[in-house]
Amino acid sequence: MRTLFFLLSFASVLLLLSACSSLDEKEDDETKDWSASRLYDAARTELNDENYNAAIDYYEKVETRYPFGQFAQQALLESTYAHYRDGETEAAIAAADRFIKLYPRHPNIDYAYYLKGLANFDRDFGFFQRYMRTDRSQRDQAAALQSLNDFSELVKLYPDSRYTEDARQRMAYLRNNIAEYDVHVARYYIKRGAYSAAVNRGIGVVENYPQTAAVSNALAVMLIGYTMLDMSDLADGSRRVLQLNYPDHPVLKREISKKSDTGKERKVWLQFWE
């Protein structure tokens, strides 16, 4: 019983000390009497000096203490940028989504869409990928697809935005990467004999990303897949389109037949993937 009483007393003391500590911290906060404009100005100073964590802290105080008015709106938008520049892509996306939801008629709403697209563009692209040469088209494309959607929405809703041209250029880059990724997946399927799955990937590239460089290999996938599936009419159609648009494609220089499915001959016409 004494032990239980001691433990309860000790816990009460800890809670009291914690509460006192919190009160002391609030009393020691030099910004407690600052106006919204002063907090915002401090945040902008830290942002300009690239002290993003400090800037975010000030922006959060603006939102918490002065939740209504232009300072709170601008604080949320600029904290989105601060999170993005600090590499906190998930926090930047969440802040952008919150801004879009709360202030859909804000004059700078286009910037929120743009920042969201940028954050998704860089999402899951860590230190080694940033500073070492890597092929982004071979990475999972979930974030790329979301970024493409974000930029597409910006271009659709705000075609005259100052950010639209850059968004279009990034969209072209993303489409190429996504199409190349689908071709990589199709290559995987071809090598493992999953010809129907490979054909479907190839069709997807041709239909969804017709202006990308990956279309030639997508048509080659369809040619090989249809041939191996004994779908001669569709294989001939794929060959004609490939010959018409990409007459020098390496797969056209090899004789493809069903018997190539095994042995050394199969390796010969798969070499163009390497």
Q: 197-234 pLDDT, tens per residue?
A: 999 999 999 999 999 999 999 999 999 999 888 898 99
Q: 90-112 pLDDT, tens per residue?
A: 999 999 999 999 999 999 999 99
Q: 133-179 pLDDT, tens per residue?
A: 444 445 557 889 999 999 999 999 999 999 999 999 999 999 999 99
CA pair distance 167, 232, nearest whole angstrom:
42
CA pair distance 163, 121, nearest whole angstrom:
15
pLDDT of residue 137: 45
pLDDT of residue 40: 95
Distance, CA of 128 to chain centre:
17
Q: Under a CB-based contact definition with an 8 Å cutoff, are residues 41 and 62 in contact?
A: no
- The pTM is what? 0.76
